[in-house]
Amino acid sequence: MGPVKSSVFILILHLLEGTLSNSLIQLNNNGYEGIVIAIDPNVPEDETLIQQIKDMVTQASPYLFEATGKRFYFKNVAILIPETWKAKPDYVRPKLETYKNADVLVAESTPPQNDEPYTEQMGKCGEKGERIHLTPNFVSGKKLQEYGPQGRAFVHEWAHLRWGVFDEYNNDEKFYLSNGKIQAVRCSAGITGTNVVNKCQGGSCYIKRCTFNKVTGLYEKGCEFIPQTHQTEKASIMFAQYIDSIVEFCTEQNHNKEAPNMQNQKCNLRSTWEVIRDSEDFKKTTPMTTQPPKPMFSLLQIGQRIVCLVLDKSGSMATGNRLNRLNQAGQLFLLQTVELGSWVGMVTFDSAAYVQSELVQINSGSDRDTLAKRLPTAAAGGTSICTGLRSAFTVIRKKYPTDGSEIVLLTDGEDNTISGCFNEVKQSGAVIHTVALGPSAAQELEQLSKMTGGFQTYASDQAQNNGLIDAFGALSSGNGADSQRSIQLESKGLTLQNSQWMNGTVIVDSTVGKDTLFLITWTTQPPQILLWDPSAKKQDGFVVDKNTKMAYLQIPGIAKVGTWKYSLQASSQTLTLTVTSRASSATLPPITVTSKMNKDTGKFPSPMIVYANIRQGASPILRARVTALIESVNGKTITLELLDNGAGADATKDDGVYSRYFTTYDTNGRYSVKVWALGGVNAARRRTIPQQNGAMFIPGWIENDEIKLNPSRPEINKDDLQNKQVCFSRTSSGGSFVASDVPKAPIPDLFPPCQITDLKAEIHEGRLINLTWTAPGDDYDHGTAYKYIIRISTSILDLRDKFNESLQVNTTALIPKEANTEEVFLFKPENITFENGTDLFIAIQAVDKVDLKSEISNIARVSLFIPPQTPPETPSPDETSPPCPDIHINSTIPGIHILKIMWKWLGELQLTIA
C-alpha cells in the first residue's frame, strides 16, 4: 500500500460506515461541514434567495447549538446555484457537490401554494433521512404565519435528516382520550392551549369552543388546539418549534409517551433526545465551552458536464465477450446517455494508459459517433487502475480543472495497488463512478466511488441480465433538470434456442418521448428485428453494427405515446433490448424511478433493504407494479416484489416509495440491483404530496389578546388521485452492494419475522377489540410466520418494558397469513379491568417456525368511552375546554378569521392538564 495522508484515511472511514448515502456532511469538532443546499434549476433567478438561505442557516445554528446542549452547530454550507443563473465572480465550480447528493433542495412547490417544509425519510427510527425540501416562499419568510421562523423550522427538519427522529404532532388524529379525558396530541404534555373550531356559513364565520362527539368521546372534526402565547415549557422542537419558549427536544423526563404520533409509533415510545443521544454524532462529541462561530458559505455554480471514460482493456477483458459488451454499453452512453453540451474524453488502460480522445464537446450526432469509434477493440496486458486515473486527470486538466469533473471507471481485473492513488483522487475534486465487471474486479474498487460520492455498479458475465448496459445507462448527469436526463424505459434479455422469438411491449407515456432509442444486442448473429409503433406502423431504419453486434434506432422528434411492440428472432444466442428516452417537454416533469439499497455492505445475517422512489415531479406515483432483480456474483438472480404498504421494510404507506427486505444471500461478494416499474390501469398519480415528516402547520395563534386562525391546511385526501390510469414502464439501476460472512450452503435460518409497524385497534360493541395489521413473514417480510403472541396492559410502559410479563391474549384461533396480507383479529379482554375511562394498550410479537421472534410491534391503544344516557346540560369539570359563548364575526382579512375576546376571558379557555 502506498503512502496515503491520514486525512484521506479519516474520510474513507467516514464514508465506509456501511450506510449508503451520497451526503458529503461530516461532523468536525462539533460543527457540521459539507452541507449542500441546492437551488432547483426551475427556480427563477433571484439573487436575494441566496442571502435568504444564508440568513436561515445563520439563524438556525445558535438555535441548534442550544437545543443540543451546546454540542452541534452549522460550520460551513455550500449553496448550489443553477447553471442558467447569471455568473458572478464569487461563484466557483463545485467539486463533489451535485444535485444528486444535495442535503437540502429549494424548489417551487408542487402543487402550487403547498409550501410545507418536509424531509424524506425512508428508514427506521434513528436512520438518516434522504433530503430536506424547502420552497422559495418558505425560505424568503413569506410563510412565517404558517410555519414560524425559518431557522427554527430548519432545525426541526435537520433532526429528521441527521438523526432519524419523527414528528410529535398528528394531523390525522389531533386529540386522544387518556383516563377518560381529552388530550391534545403534543409534546410535552405541559404545553397549554385553547381548543376551538372555526365555523363558516354564507360568508360569515365564527369561532366557538369544540363540542364532543357523543359516540367517540372526542372533539368534533375541525377542532384545533391553539397553544397559549405565554408558555413555560421548553420542549419540544419536534412538536411546535415556533413557540417562543420551546428551545429543547423532549427528553425521557418530559416526553409524552401516550400521544399517538409518529415519534412514539416509530421509535418505541422513546423521546427525540433519547434517539439523538444514541446517534454516532452524539457519541463523537462533548459539549463546547465557547460559543460557536457563524456559519461559512461557499457559492457554487453548476457548469458544463465534463466526463472522461477510463476503460480497462487488459487481457482478461478478452474473455467472456467482455470487451464487446463494453463496446455496446459504451456506445449507449456516448450515443444517448451523456447530455448535449457535455465534454467527453476517453482513456484506455492495461498496465499502461492510452489517451483515445481528448475532451470533445457533444454538440451533434457526429460528435457522438466520433467518440464511439474510439472505444477499445483489442485486449491485452495487465491492470493498472491508478495509471488510467492519472491519465484521465491529465486529459481533463488540459482544458478544465478536475474539480467537479466525472470519471467513469470500468475494470474486470485484480489490482492491489489502487490505494496508492487515493490521495490523488481525493485532491482532484473529481467524482468517480465505478463499474465492476465479472467476479474478479479489484476488491478496493468501490472505495473510489465512496470517497468521491460516485455511483458504484456491478455487472456479471451473464449477458442476458444486461447489467453492463444498465450500469452505463444509469450514468446521467447528477446536475441539471430532469428534462435533460436520459430515462431508461426498458431493459430485458433472453437466451433463445431453435429460432425462438423474444416478444414484448414498451410503453412510451406522455411525459417522455424525446430522443427515444431502441438498442438491440446479440452474441453471434444479427437477429430478425420487428418493431411497431402504437398505430401498428412497422419501424425500419435500424443502424446495424455487425462488429459490435448491436443495432439501434433513434426515433425522430417525439415518439408516439402508447404501447410499442417488438419481436426478435434468433437461435442459440443471447439477445438484449434496451429502450431509453428523455422528457417530452421542459415544463412537464417526467415520471422517474430512482432505486437504491439501504447500505453498501450486507453482513449476514443482517438484511438489506431495496428502495424504489417513483415520482412525477414531487407527486408520488401509487399502485405501480415494482420488481427488483438482485443478482449475486454467482449469477443467481432473486426477484422481489417491492411494496408501498407501510409495513415490513416500507416506512410510509402510499408515499411513492416502494421497498422490501432482501435476505436471500447465496454467497459472499458483489450483488447488482435493478428495478422494473410498470404502471397500468391501477396506477395513479397523487395530486397532493402525502403528509411528510416536517414542521407543523400552525393552526392559529394569540396576538394582542385575540385568537387568530390561519386558513385551514388543505386536507390530504387519500383518494384524491389524478388520472386513474397512469401507464408507463421504467427500469432503474440500484447500483451494487457487497455481502460478507455468508456461510456455505445450506444457509441456516437466522432471519426472524419483521416487526409489525402498523398495528391498529378499535373498540366494537360489547367491549370487543378489533385489531388489524399487515402480516409479517417467516423471514422478515417473506413467507408466513408460525404464530402470534398478543399481550395487553393498562400501562403503556409496562407493555413496552415488561412485554413477556404482560397479560397474554388467547390466539389459538389466529393462524398467520402470508406476508403482506391484512390480518384481522377480534377479542374480548379478559382478566383485566376494562371499564369506562380505561386505556388499554396492545402489542404483538410474531414467531417463526424455528422460534425466532420479531421485535415487539408498535403499541396500539383503545380508550373505553361509554356515552352517557342523558348528555349533561353543562360540561363537567373534567372537560378540557369550559363553556364559552359562540361569537359571530365577518372576516375582513382574506383567509384569517379573528375572534376578539379579552385576555381575561382567554384565561378561561386554557387547556386543563390532568
Tell me the pairing of strands 669-679 and 728-740. Answer: antiparallel
Q: Name, in order, each residue with C-beta under 8 angstroms of 371's C-beta and a sequence gap of 6 or more.
A: 334, 344, 346, 357, 360, 362
Q: How do strand 104-106 and strand 131-134 relate by DSSP bridges?
A: parallel
Alpha-carbon separation of residue 710 from 113, 141, 143, 322, 894 (angstroms):
14, 16, 11, 63, 10
Strand order through the sheet with 839-847: 807-808, 787-793, 839-847, 860-863
User: What is the residue whose three cell numbers read 388524529?
Assistant: 173
Query: Is 904 strand, coil or helix?
Result: helix
33 is catalytic: no
Closest CA to 174 of 218, 122, 227: 218
Q: Which three cell numbers stand for residue 506?
A: 414498451
> How far is Cα 439 from Cα 459, in angstroms, rounded to an integer?
9
Candidates 385, 417, 433, 424; CA nearest to 402 is: 424
* DSSP per-residue letters across 281-345: HHHT----SSPPPPPEEEEEE----EEEEEEE-SGGGGGGGHHHHHHHHHHHIIIIISPTT-EEE
Q: Shortest CA distance to 468 belongs to which of 519, 515, 422, 431? A: 519
User: Coil, strand, or helix at residue 842?
Assistant: strand
SS3 248: strand
Q: How would you class 863 by CB atoms within 10 Å of its CB: exposed for 0-12, middle for 13-18, buried for 19 or more? A: buried
DSSP code string of 465-489: GTHHHHHHHT---SSS-GGGS-EEE
3-class DSSP state of 798: helix
SS3 598: coil
Beta bridge partners of 573: 496
Tell me the β-bridge partners of 178: 181
Closest CA to 325 of 60, 548, 582: 548
- Burial of 25 from C-beta contacts in 10 A (0-12 / 13-18 / 19+): middle
Given 130, 157, 406, 631, the catalytic residue? 157
The beta-strand segments (E) located in 528-649 are: 528-532, 543-545, 550-554, 562-570, 573-583, 591-597, 601-603, 608-616, 619-622, 625-632, 637-642
Asked whether 194 and 881 are in contact (CB, 8 A), the reply is yes
CA pair distance 642, 648, nearest whole angstrom: 11
Counting every residue written for the chain, the total comes to 914
User: Are 840 and 777 spatial neighbours (Cβ–Cβ below 8 Å)?
Assistant: no
DSSP 36-54: EEEE-TTSPP-HHHHHHHH
Give, in order, the Cα–Cα distances in Å from 422 to each of 6, 56, 426, 442, 635.
11, 36, 6, 14, 31
What is the spatial distance between Cα 753 and Cα 769, in angstroms, rounded to a whole number? 24
Q: Which three cell numbers stand for residue 545?
A: 453494427
Sign of the Cα torsion 644, 646, 650, 651 reads positive
Residue from 277, 341, 257 nearest 304 by CA? 341
Give the bridge partners for 431, in sequence order: 406
DSSP assignment of 92-124 equals: B--SS--STT-SEEE---SSTT----EEE--S-
Active site residues per annotation: 157
